[in-house]
Amino acid sequence: MALATLLLIVLVRNPFIVALAAAAPAFFVFGDSSVDTGNNNFISTLIKANSLPYGMNFDPPAEFLDLPYPVNFLDPGVSPWNLLKGVNFAAAGAGLLDSTGFSRGVRSFTKQIKEFQKVVKVLESLAGKSSTLDLLSRSIFLISFAGNDLAANYQLNPFRQMFYNLTQFESLLINQMSRSIQTLHAYGAQKFIIADIPPLGCTPVELILHGACKGRCVASVNEQIRSFNSKTSVFFSKLRAVLRDCDFLHLKSYTIVQRILENPSTHGLRHASRACCGNGGHYNALGPCNWFISSVCEDPDLYAFWDMVHPTQALYKLVANEVIFGSPNSIYPFNLAHLVSNMPQ
C-alpha cells in the first residue's frame, strides 16, 4: 500500500484531520511505487498491483469521504470537480529521469509535471486563476522519487556507470529534482514533503542478490543511498534559502526505516528481512509476489516487507506516523502537524 494512502488512514484516526482539512484543501502526489495508488492500472505496463494478493488486507475507512483525498490522474472515471481535492500522479517504476522507467512504459517526474500543468488549467476553468493559485499555495505536495533511478538506472546498469560516476549521477538527479520543484513552485506550490531514499540494501531482493547472511543489509547498496541522501539534504537547505515563501519538509525515509528494521519488535514487527508474499528461499524473495505461485504469510502486520521490494501496510503506517508527528530526526525541520497548525484556517 502506498505511503500517500497510509498517510490518510493515519490522519482519519485522530483529531488532527479536522485541522488538516480546514488548512490544506488538496493533496498532490508525485513519485514512484512508494506513493502510486493505482495509476499504472490504466496503462499498458507490467508494473501493476491490481490483482490479489495485493490489496487483500486493505479496508479503507468510511471517513476517507471527508478527506482531501487525491484521485488518480489516469482514472477515466474522475470528473473535473474531483480534481479540487487533489491528484495523485505517481507511477510505480518511475524515476526523476525520463530514462529510468521508459522501457517499462511508466511516467517520469517530468511527465507527471506536465500532467499537473494540465490539471491546473482545468482548475482555473472551474474556479478561476486567483482561487486556483490560492488553493495550490495551501495544498500539500508530496514527492517520493529517486529509488528507481539509483537502483535500476545506476546500480544495476553497467552501461550507465560507463558514462557517469556516482557523484555525477547524483548531480544529474538533483538537478532534475530542482527543475521540477521550481516548476511546481512557479504554478503556486509552497508546501512540500519530499522523501529521501529508504535503505534499499535491506530489502529481501537485495539480500537474495548479494547472498546476505542473517538478514544483514547490503552495505554497498546502502552506502550509495546514504551518499545521495546527504546531497539531497544540502539541496533542501539551498532550496529553503532561494524559495523563502515555501515550506520544505525533508522526510528522512532512510533514518526512519533503518531504525525500525534494527529494532522490529519494539515497533510491533517480527520479521524484518523476509517477504510476506514471495516464492521461497531464505527471504521468500526468489520471485515476485503472485497469487498463483507465491506463498503468502498469515499475518502481514508482523512483517516489514510485503514482497521482495515493497513495505507492508504495517511499516508504511509507522512511516506515516513519523510524517505527521515525528521529531526533526525523522522529518526536518518540523512535522506535518506543526506545518498545518501554523497555516491559516
Amino acid at residue number 276: C
Among 32, 149, 196, 307, which one carries the catalytic annotation? 307
210 classed as catalytic: no
Nearest to 336, CA basis, from 36, 328, 37: 328
Nearest to 54, CA basis, from 5, 104, 94, 107: 5
Q: Up-side HSE of residue 105: CA atoms within 13 Å toward CB? A: 10
Residue 27: CB atoms within 10 A of its CB come to 22
Residue 241: CB atoms within 10 A of its CB come to 8
273 classed as catalytic: no
Q: How far apart are CA 212 and CA 271, in angstroms?
A: 16
245 classed as catalytic: no
Among 33, 34, 144, 180, which one carries the catalytic annotation? 33
Nearest to 88, CA basis, from 46, 139, 156: 139
Nearest to 261, CA basis, from 290, 318, 304: 304
Among 139, 294, 310, 330, which one carries the catalytic annotation? 310
Residues involved in catalysis: 33, 307, 310
